[in-house]
Structure 1
Amino acid sequence: MSESELIEPGMAERLELLPARTLFPPEQPVLIEVRGGCPPGAVLTVSHLGERLTGCKAGRGLADVGRLPAGGYGVELSDRDGSVLARTAVQVAADPRSVLRYGFVVDYRPDRDLAAVTDNLRRLHLTAVQFYDWAYRHADLVGGGELYDDALGQPVSLGTVRSLIEACHEVGSSALGYAAVYAVGRREWAEWEHDALLTPSGAPYALADFLFIVDPAAADWIGHLAGDLSASVAEVGFDGFHLDQYGYPKRAQRADGTAVDVARSFVTTIERVREALPGSRLVFNNVNDFPTWAAAAAPQDAVYIEVWPPHVGLEHLAQVVTRARAEAAGKPVVIAAYQHVYDSAPAESADRATALTMATLYSHGGTHLLCGEADRILIDPYYVRNHTAEPSTAALLRRWYDFLVEHDELLTAPGITDVTGSYAGSYNDDIDVSYTQTQTPVGHLAAPGTVWRRITQAGDRHVMHLINLAGQGDTLWDAPRDVPTDVGAGTLKIRRAGSAPPRVRVADPDRHPRLIDVEVTLDGDFAHARLPAPHLWQLVLIDPSRNTHL
């Protein structure tokens, strides 16, 4: 990507840092676009887990900070006095499929502008994009020619779809086409009715009397689906597919009386699609965690779960992610949790709900399908019915997505283990925190009025996550949230592992996004550190000693 492609005439002068790619391979230099009014003498610095590594002079345009090893990094632009003017983050990964920060697009009108879409992909580091409802029909993906209306009347230009795919590739993102694995519309139903999954009363299972459901593993249907997907790759250029389902039925009879375990059929479907498209990136939707226990091990590239009741509390999100990571065998875990709250609440209280949702998912090792297009967030399973993010929401998302990328190896990396029950509490007395000034309770379960504490082990380090639920009347993730109560400074107590004092650093996506050291004092076998008051989520990194190498 050239500088002329990144800098547009008449660009707004607001100072902003944008990585050239959503994810960088180790063999390529990391390029950062400095957009807007950059003052003379400004410097870009790159840090890894709070430690400054490298820097370069910066001006308007592209800055090359060199090649970096695999990992997440914070990037700051500072003036001559050292004041931070703008921030972003970058991630370097050898295997792009090991990372999934998922976004979406829904607008395929002819000649639409693409620049704002790619800006948003870069701004939020979205490594893959779901092309929702791009196809002609659910059972005939590419049969509509170059211009058509989709099944619900939205205009589609395949030229625009191809241009969006190219735009994704330019910034390092994968383009995944949406495809339901067992849905047939009315016009095609006569051809597939013999593969129907039937209710006990003999009617076909359906979605809103609009789409009818077939056994996804029926031999003729799965051959058709695999062929349609292959044709979509050849004719449109997708990198893979988002394979959707609706969460029901779980067991049913086919029209010929054959009993069907739909979980097994889904696994067969994924296997057959993988055989037909060995190089494609595949993401299957485990609706409400069905059937994660079976599909997670199938030959796909992520564990993706769309949550619905009874998964209504932050604690339920935590449980879903924890189970998914246990089944994922190192694959990234993504949760689709639609923030309907923006339809009914002011942006500031809805933003707090979104922040607590992200805090829960990120701290448990998952990511969130929420953002897409140029400025949209998801509030509904029909992605065309989305919400335009207000400036406060856009700023929140930028801070929190930067935080996720910068601290990836402490959050979503494979191998991170929950050790809360083994380290915290009076019996263990190894690592814990208290808020004596306000007497705010601390607990290992999400509960209103508490600081929710979780401890993980990442390599030789421990990471404590502190989610502030003080001031909240419940733990619902899709409900307006009140201003969090100030719980005051925390006292961290650590059982020492040796003679050297531990090193303690803290970060907060809203208050101090880069890890900073806090003072540690020694008291016999224990060390103590005073933690800043958490806002909504605080990350505490504990190294066994100050001599631990990064």
Structure 2
Amino acid sequence: MKYFIKNSIKCAVLTLCFTACSSNDSGSSSIPEPPVETITSITIKTDYAKYAPGVAVHFMIDKLPENGVIRYKYLNTILSEEALTGTNWSWTPPAEDYKGYLVEIYKTVDNVETILATTAIDVSSDWTKFPRYGFLSKFGTMTDNQITAVLDNLKDYHINSLQYYDWGNKHHAPLKMSGSSPAASWLDIAGRTMSFNTVKTYIDKAHERNIASMSYNLLYGAWSDFSNDGVSSEWFLYNDQNHNNINKHDLPDSWQSDILVTNPANTAWQNYIFDKTNLIYQNLNFDGWHLDQLGDRGNVYDYNGNLVKVNETFTPFLQNLKQRFPNKKNMLNAVSQYGQSNILSTPVDVAYTEVWGPRDGYKDLADVIQGNNSLSNNSLNTVLAAYMDYDKANGTGFFNTPGVLLTDAVIFAFGGAHLELGEHMLSKEYFPHDNLQMDGELKKSLIEYYDFLVAYQNLLRDGGDFNSPIITSGDGKINLKTWPPAYSNVAVVGKKVANKQLIHLINFTNATSLNWRDTNGEQATPAKKSNMILNLQNNQAVSKVWYASPDYEGGASKELSFNQVGGNLVFKIPSLQYWGMIVVEYL
């Protein structure tokens, strides 16, 4: 439901070292040596958002460090290393499908290793296995360079699919035609000018980066001029049994129309809107349909006066849609989880939820993701549309970084993805709204969070069972509490994946609120903790313990020394800011 109702990149840090002038024995001044650039961080990029098995990855860096080494890793296992000899090179990952990898560039000085850059690689033949969903919302006249800049930025966050929000003309006839060809331009419902060429160029250039494109439209919606386009009044939902008042969603007076709600179960409506969708596919190479709804409509009736349970209409609509377009992807927004059990019983490709109150706590985000897992029999991963800094966005300024990162930490730790990135960052359900901006710190941090989501996707999003390991502080540096979160505590989330026990630590030590939306942008930065001794209750033989955090060394995994002391596994983690992941591997 996305309409208002009427009423860094890893930044390069350079240290310039100058040799001071000094007097020689004769008293004359020596000539200053030229500055020497000591590279402590570099930017690393790849050519695609994801890779098909067997395809080489092409890397680019902005600076060439002296004595740099490239290391390729799957989870904590080193696959290979090689000397870094140029600013462009290639690597072909193992051919196995649906795997995530971390690439590190490091140097060693006096036996001390320094991470200079990291990035992640997703080897997946189908983006819906690990969806990292973004959006586009502005389709006026744009140059190729402008479109390229938007897509390259999203590629750097590994966004592998995009929702084309409100790209079309009328909801009941999205692609405006001029005779037998698409019109060059049209107006969307808000009266904005849309360009066919911009939409087409976005789709084509996104595909060049292995980013999928999803056409946005309601599954039930028509404008007030519906009868001019062959839509029958018998296809609508009504507020009364005598079909006098069509159910509608009110929009501002300045917009072109309110949205009149059709009956998704009406097969004549299905055939009509499927034909209009086919017209889209004939002219624009969309990968599928992102379907939207408007939430619970209350008591509504079909034209003949029969009570209609709208959630139950989603099932036949989606089943018939898949039969009509078997090779296209589909997802339907479960607004506040409305109809999700009906939606996920059909052949949709992603579990998608737009989160509204009363689901305002961090626990609610986890509950939605786990609920979607259960409803889909653990076959679909979840994308959450969860709008940050909602009230702050009524003004201008910047997103509050701590609020965004804590919310992403929770969503990612529980295996979900967050719809938040497009031409700008989302703060409202009307996607073109762009009052708030991301500052440099947030841009840099989110690159690292999305790297982490990709590099460790086989632990975060590829099965497993959540559990509640018993872990305590061995030195009193942090207060640990099993999920859900509480003030002044570090929340503990456990998950068993094959022979691995995951322990997520999410730092709410300084939290000023447990409301994820951080609506006024007031969430506090958690106090950073270092070198903490932890005791994990354990009675199994352990082969390895390692740790990784998107807030520490670009997410590079660090193997930890450990001891079994009585019934406890004892180890020390190096750093915790927002979120860290401990992995215990059993023999």
SS of 2:225's equivalent in the other structure is helix
Contact 1:23 1:125 in 2 (8 A): yes
Q: Distance in 1 between matches of 2:239 and 2:475?
A: 58
**Rounded Cα–Cα distance in structure 1 between residues aligned with 2:83 and 2:298:** 59
| CA distances 1:457-485 after superposition (whole Å, capped 9, x unpaired) | 11111101111111223310011211224
* C-alpha contact (below 8 Å) 2:398/2:438 kept by paired residues: no
- Which secondary structure does the structure 2 equivalent of 1:216 belong to? coil
CA distance 1:439–1:167, change in 2 (3 Å): closer
Residue 109 (structure 1) shift:
2.1
CA distance in 1, matches of 2:528, 2:201: 48
Indicate conservation of the 8 Å contact 1:435/1:487, yes or no. Answer: no
Q: For 2:529 and 2:105, locate their aligned partners in 1 and report how far apart those are by CA, in whole Å.
A: 32
Q: Is the 8 A contact 2:539 2:567 kept in 1?
A: yes
Report matched runs for 1:39-118 at 5 Å: 39=65, 42-58=68-84, 62-68=88-94, 69-70=96-97, 71-79=99-107, 81=109, 83-112=114-143, 113-118=146-151
Give, in angstroms, the shift of residue 200 of structure 1.
4.9
**Does residue 273 in structure 1 map to residue 328 in structure 2?**
no
1:470 aligns with 2:470: no
**Is the 2:474–2:535 contact (alpha carbons within 8 Å) kept by the matching residues of 1?**
no
Give the structure 1 partner of residue 224 of structure 2.
Answer: 186
Q: Which moved more, 1:246-255 or 1:309-318?
A: 246-255
Higher RCO (CA 8 Å, separation ≥ 6 residues): 2
Query: Is 1:528 aligned to 2:554, yes or no?
Result: no
The one of 241, 245, 254 aligned to 1:203:
245
Match 1:133 to one of 143, 161, 166: 166
Equivalent positions of 1:161-180 (< 5 A) are 161-180=199-218
- Render the CA deviation track for 1:11-61: whole Å, top value 9, x for unaligned: xx9942122111111121122222x23345544321121332224454665
Tell me the secondary structure at the aligned position of residue 319 of structure 1. helix
Residue of 401, 405, 409 corresponding to 1:355: 405
How far apart, in 2, do the equivalents of 1:355 and 1:95 lie? Answer: 27
The answer as to whether partners of 1:442 and 1:451 remain within 8 angstroms in 2 is yes
Relative to structure 1, is the Cα distance of residues 58 and 187 closer, same or farther in structure 2, using a 3 angstrom cutoff?
A: farther
Aligned equivalent of 1:223: 271
Task: Supply the distance in 1 between the matched residues of 2:125 and 2:331 (Cα, whole angstroms).
Answer: 20
Instruction: Please report the RMSD computed on the Cα atoms of aligned residues, expressed in angstroms.
Output: 2.4
| Equivalent in the alignment of 2:29 | none
Question: 5 Å matches for 1:9-24?
Answer: 15-24=42-51
In the alignment, which residue of structure 1 is the partner of 2:349? 301
Displaced runs of 4 or more, over 6 A: 344-349
Shift of 1:398: 0.5
- Kindly tell me the number of residue pairs found equivalent between the two proteins: 518
SS in 1 for 2:197: helix
Aligned residue among 560, 567, 575 for 1:518: 560
In structure 2, the residue corresponding to 1:22 is in which secondary structure? coil
- Report the residue type matching 1:252 in the other structure: V
- In structure 1, the gaps of 5 or more residues are 1-12, 425-431, 546-550
1:223-242 equivalence runs, <5 A: 223-242=271-290
What is the deviation of 1:78?
A: 3.3
The letter for the 2-side match of 1:503 is K
| Structure-2 separation of matches of 1:151 and 1:346 | 25
- Identify which of 412, 415, 430 aligns with 1:365: 415
Percent of aligned pairs with the same amino acid: 21
State the SS of the aligned residue for 1:225: helix
1:428 aligns to what?
Answer: none
Whole-angstrom CA distance in 2 between matches of 1:170 and 1:461: 37
Encode CA deviations 1:91-116: one digit per residue, 9 max, x unaligned. 11243331210011122222332221
| Superimposed CA distance per residue, residues 325-381 of structure 1 (whole angstroms, 9 cap, x where no aligned partner) | 1112311211110113552799787211111111111111111111012xx111111
Change (3 A) 1:533 1:37: closer
Greater Cα radius of gyration, structure 1 or 2: 2
In the other structure, the counterpart of 2:176 is 143
Amino acid in structure 2 at the alignment position of 1:543 = E
- In the alignment, the residues of structure 1 paired with residue 237 and residue 494 of structure 2 have an alpha-carbon distance, to the nearest angstrom, of 45
Give the secondary-structure state (helix, strand or coil) at the position aligned to 2:548. Answer: strand
Q: Report if aligned partners of 1:441, 1:449 keep a CA contact under 8 Å in 2.
A: no
SS in 1 for 2:117: strand
2:5 maps to which residue? Answer: none
Q: Deviations over 1:131-178 (max 9, x none)?
A: 111111111111251212222122211111111111111111111010
User: 1:492 aligned to 2:520?
Assistant: no
Worse-matched range after superposition: 118-127 or 309-318: 118-127
- The answer to which of 66-75 and 338-347 deviates more is 338-347
Amino acid at match of 1:484: P
Deviation sequence 1:189-210 (CA, Å, 0-9, x none):
6734332222359633222241
